[in-house]
C-alpha cells in the first residue's frame, strides 16, 4: 500500500474510532432516558416522583389479576421478582395479556399504586408450537412431581 493511502486510511480510522467512542459515551450517559420503562424496583427505590408520567415494565404476577365483573376495570401486580407494584387500569387489555406475561404500562404512581392509562404486552423470543409448549410443561410437571410426592410422604408420617 502506498504511503498516502495508508495515511488516509489512518485518518478515517481515527475519525471513525473517535466518533464511535463519543457516541458510545453519550449513549452510556443517557442510558436511563433511553430505557423504555422503569422497573418496580426503581419505583420502590423512589426514583420517580408521584404523578410523573412514566412507563413501567414487569411481569404480571401469577394469581394477581382481578377483573371487575361489570366494567373494564382491572387490577394486577407487576413484578420484577424482587419488588411488586400494584397497577389499576380501566380499558381494553391486549390479547397477549395474561398472568406470567411481560407488560409495559403507561401511567403515573399515585399513593403507591400505579394508575395506568395504557397497557402493552411484551413477549419473549421463545417461539414454539402448541405441542412443544405442552411437552415442555408436562416435563416440568414430571420434574416437580417426585418432590411433591416426598413432601406428601413426609407430612403423612
Q: Which residues bind another protein (CB under 8 A)?
A: 5, 8-9, 12, 15-16, 19-20, 23, 27, 31, 34-37, 39, 57, 93-96, 104, 118-133, 135-136
Q: For the CB of residue 109, give the shortest distance to another protein in the complex, in Å.
A: 18
Who's near 106: CB < 8 A, 6+ residues apart?
53, 54, 55, 116, 117, 118, 119, 120
Q: For the CB of residue 83, give the shortest distance to another protein in the complex, in Å.
A: 15
Check residue 93 and give left, alpha or beta (phi > 0: left; psi -120 to 50: alpha): beta
Q: Closer to another protein at the Cβ: 20 or 110? A: 20
Q: For the CB of residue 81, give the shortest distance to another protein in the complex, in Å.
A: 15
Amino acid at each position: 500500500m502506498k504511503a498516502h493511502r495508508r495515511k488516509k486510511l489512518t485518518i478515517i480510522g481515527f475519525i471513525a474510532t473517535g466518533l464511535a467512542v463519543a457516541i458510545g459515551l453519550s449513549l452510556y450517559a443517557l442510558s436511563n432516558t433511553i430505557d423504555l420503562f422503569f422497573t418496580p424496583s426503581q419505583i420502590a427505590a423512589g426514583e420517580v416522583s408521584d404523578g410523573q408520567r412514566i412507563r413501567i415494565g414487569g411481569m404480571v404476577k401469577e394469581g394477581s389479576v382481578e377483573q371487575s365483573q361489570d366494567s373494564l376495570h382491572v387490577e394486577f401486580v407487576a413484578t420484577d421478582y424482587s419488588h411488586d407494584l400494584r397497577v389499576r387500569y380501566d380499558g381494553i387489555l391486549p390479547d397477549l395479556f395474561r398472568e406470567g406475561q411481560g407488560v409495559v404500562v403507561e401511567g403515573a404512581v399515585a399513593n403507591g399504586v400505579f394508575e395506568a392509562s395504557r397497557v402493552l404486552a411484551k413477549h419473549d423470543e421463545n417461539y414454539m408450537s402448541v405441542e412443544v409448549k405442552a411437552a415442555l410443561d408436562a416435563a416440568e410437571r414430571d420434574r416437580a412431581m417426585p418432590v411433591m410426592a416426598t413432601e406428601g410422604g413426609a407430612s403423612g408420617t
